[in-house]
């Protein structure tokens, strides 16, 4: 099973191969904004792949268009909703202004 380490939290998880990166994060309490619900219709799930970028499929035209809206874009920027996990990865979740409000106390 591939392992994914999320930075800066240091959370490390194991997931089944083929699992979506956004879903893997959310299922394991790693907060990644996702205003469109993971439909490649916004840029809020922007992440930076620190290790394992070569294991991902090429970006689609839709993903490229959405990434143009992301803050702090790098050559390893991806939308978490568009990344299928096939090998170990290290993923940086950039700090960003968020409308997300955790209502748990």
Average pLDDT of 56-65?
96
Per-residue pLDDT, 70: 92
CATH architecture of the domain with residue range 3-92:
Roll (3.10)
More confident residue, 105 or 44: 44
Instruction: Give the global pTM.
Output: 0.87
What is the average pLDDT value for the chain, to the nearest integer?
Answer: 91
Closest CA to 6 of 43, 58, 51, 54: 51
**Phi and psi at residue 22, to the nearest 5°:** -65, -45
The residues spanned by each domain of the chain are 3-92
More confident residue, 69 or 98: 69
For 15-51, write each residue's pLDDT tens digit: 999 999 999 999 999 999 999 999 999 999 999 999 9
Average pLDDT of 49-60?
97
């Amino acid at each position: 099973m591939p392992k994914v380490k999320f930075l800066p939290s240091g959370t490390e998880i194991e997931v089944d191969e083929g699992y979506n990166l956004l879903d893997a994060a959310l299922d394991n309490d790693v907060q990644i904004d996702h205003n469109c619900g993971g439909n490649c219709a916004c840029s809020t799930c922007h992440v930076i792949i620190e290790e394992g970028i070569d294991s991902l499929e090429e970006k689609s035209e839709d993903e490229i268009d959405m990434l143009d809206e992301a803050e702090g874009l790098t050559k390893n920027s991806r939308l978490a909703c568009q990344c299928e996990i096939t090998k170990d990865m290290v993923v940086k979740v950039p700090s960003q202004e968020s409308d997300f409000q955790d209502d748990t106390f």
